[in-house]
Amino acid sequence: MIKRLWKRNPLIFWGGALVALLVLTALVCQWIAPYDPDNQVLADRLLPPSWQHWMGTDQYGRDILSRMLYGSRISLAVGLVAVSIYVLIGTTVGSVAGYYGGWVDGLLMRVTDIFLCIPTFLLILMVIAFVGPSIINIMVVIGLTSWTDVARLVRGEVLALKEREFIQAARVIGMKDSRIILRHLLPNALGPVLVVATLGIGGAILVESALSYLGLGVQPPTPSWGNMLEEGKEHLTDAWWLITFPGLAIFLTVLGYNLLGEGLRDLLDPRLRGSGRNN
């Protein structure tokens, strides 16, 4: 099965492998971490990578590998929760706008356009500065400010589907609008949404890392790849490992989700499959 997947869609194979590694690491980090991530041993500060500390230690003598492993939990939680929030909001807005049309569509799309006009990261910065930095606030704020692309995508899919014969038949037999949307329209529109959500997880992880780097994200001593980068910037010349490993982890994680999303798009979009055969 793995060999067949590799031949048919290597993007899903490699992306899925990287994502699976992140998920597995987040689930078992408390058992495989060699040290307590918050344990400070000042005598061991800024040790380079060695057999005792595979990724070295930071300026407080904390083991980088242990902090990296625990930081994977933050990245996974932020990505999954934030994307779940904005997929729920975007799907609701897009399906209602596309199904009812008219003034409902016009009103909801104008609200969507207003959010699109505001730079998302700037809006997140403003809200986080107002409500205060915390892991919960970051997940909620990313979710509440990033739903517009999903809404427009779902609206387009619903507009294309609502005139199909099976939807007309559901209306003729008196099925309620809510049931038509939930049981017939949304299941047929979730393919593209799944692709956007997968790609969005990588984007949410990048936003969290950027906020943590700026001091507006996960607060120390809780390990996060973003705040590890922030703490290591003072030692760029004498402790390269402080920023190399967190930066590499962010890169590989985002790359994994992007590859997985691109692979799912190729798999779920029949037009892309057809063009691939023609080429």
| Per-residue pLDDT reduced to its tens digit, 31-78 | 999 999 999 998 999 999 999 999 999 999 999 999 999 999 988 898
Dihedral sign (CA 86, 91, 96, 101): positive
- The answer as to whether 214 is a domain residue is yes
The encoded tokens of residue 14 equal 């490699």
Residue 41 in domain: no
DSSP state of 174: T
pLDDT of residue 6: 59
Q: What is the residue range of 247's domain?
A: 9-29+63-269
Please list the alpha-helical segments (H only) found in the chain.
2-8, 10-32, 64-100, 102-117, 120-131, 135-145, 148-161, 165-172, 177-180, 186-213, 225-232, 241-268, 270-278
The yes-or-no verdict on residue 180 having pLDDT over 70 is yes
pLDDT at residue 196 is higher than 50: yes
Residue type, 54: W
Q: How far apart are CA 39 and CA 62, in angstroms?
A: 6
pLDDT for 193: 87
- Per-residue pLDDT of 140-179, as tens digits, reads 888 888 899 899 999 988 888 888 888 888 778 888 888 8
What digits encode the pLDDT tens for the residues 211-231? 888 888 888 888 889 889 988
Domains in the chain, number: 1
Query: What token pair was written down for 279?
Result: 């080429």
What's the chain's average pLDDT?
Answer: 85
Intra-chain end-to-end CA distance of the chain, in Å: 25
Please check whether residue 192 lies inside any domain of the structure. yes
pLDDT, residue 49, reads: 93
Which residues pair with residue 57 across a beta bridge? Answer: 63
Distance CA 102, CA 219 (A): 46
Backbone angles phi, psi at 101, to 5 degrees: 60, -160
Instruction: Tell me whether residue 2 is in a domain.
Output: no
- The number of residues in the chain equals 279
Tell me, yes or no, whether 166 lies in a domain.
Answer: yes
The rounded distance, in Å, linking the Cα atoms of 209 and 252 is 13
DSSP state letter for 233: G
Please report whether residue 87 resides in a domain: yes
Cβ proximity of 66 and 33 under 8 Å: yes
Rounded percentage of the chain residues whose pLDDT exceeds 70 = 93
**Phi, psi for residue 216 in degrees, rounded to 5:** -110, 10
Q: What is the pLDDT of residue 278?
A: 43
Task: Identify the CATH number of the domain in which residue 238 sits.
Answer: 1.10.3720.10
Q: Considering only CA atoms, which of 203, 195, 194 is closest in space to residue 261?
A: 195
1 in any annotated domain:
no
How far is 31 from 78, CA to CA, in rounded Å?
Answer: 22
What's the CA gap between 205 and 197, in Å, rounded?
Answer: 12
How many whole angstroms separate alpha carbon 88 and alpha carbon 120?
18
So what's the pLDDT on residue 107?
93
Residue 20 resides in a domain:
yes
For residue 221, is the peptide bond before it cis, meaning its omega torsion is within 30 degrees of 0?
yes
Cβ proximity of 83 and 261 under 8 Å: no
Using CA atoms, how far apart are residues 156 and 33, in angstroms rounded to an integer?
46
The predicted model scores a pTM of 0.84
pLDDT beyond 70 at 129: yes
Compute the radius of gyration of the chain from its Cα atoms: 22
Which residues contact residue 118 at a Cβ distance below 8 angstroms, ignoring those fewer than 6 apart?
none
| Residue 7 pLDDT | 65
